[in-house]
Amino acid sequence: MTIKADKSQKGSKQAPAGKRGGNKKGDPCEFINPPNLLLAKVTHDPSLKHVRNLTESKFKPDTARLQKMTTLITENEKKCISALNKKINQIEPVYRDLQKGLLPDRAPFVAECKDIHGAAKALDHIPVIRITASLLRYLQANITDGARDPAVFAAHLDALFNRNALDVKLDAPTKLVLTALETLVDHAVATKT
């Protein structure tokens, strides 16, 4: 987008202090440079609070510390994978009950779904995150227990049990499955509330 320059303003004109392009049209723009308190704090040097941009970093990362951090991430990942698998296995009885037409108790099932959702978030497992988010949305919607449809739960649990067939990078079939589940909940919530 281009804007026409104002021809009436000839010769040089400085922008007001703290403002750039002060003569341009549009919203007035105020620039603020707060003191760099963090740099002053971590260096114990109050004079550095005026530094805006260190061209050369004074920070030399401790490789041993970085290694420890990386190990912690790897260990956490293993822990989360094991927790995710364990928690999904734990809801198998719910699935069997659903096939008999029995609905799960809401409060403990919500807690279990939140647990799975949390573990999936730590692993950045997008399909499981979206499945559990959709399931939680249905569970937490303002629908009476009697009006809940076991098929909606069963569809989500089916997808959870077959998570290994879903692509974490969301290929087209995975997107299709996830969108179908979300649409199912949208429709159920819209018609039952």
Residues that bind another protein (CB under 8 A): 1-5, 7, 10-13, 15, 20-21, 24, 27-34, 36-39, 41-44, 52-54, 57-61, 65-66, 68-70, 72-73, 76-77, 79-80, 83, 117-119, 121-124, 126, 129, 133
Closest to 133 in 3D by CA, of 146, 118, 145: 118
Rounded least distance, CB 96 to another protein, Å: 28
Q: Using CA atoms, how far apart are residues 106 and 129, in angstroms rounded to an integer? A: 19
For another protein, the closer of residues 27 and 105 by Cβ is 27
Q: Which two tokens stand for residue 90?
A: 């734990």
**Nearer CB in complex with another protein: 98/130:** 130
Minimum CB separation of residue 87 from another protein in Å reads 11
Q: Which amino acid is at 177?
A: V
H/E element, 74: helix 63-90
CB of 169 to another protein, least distance (A): 11
Contact 33, 52 (CB under 8 A): yes
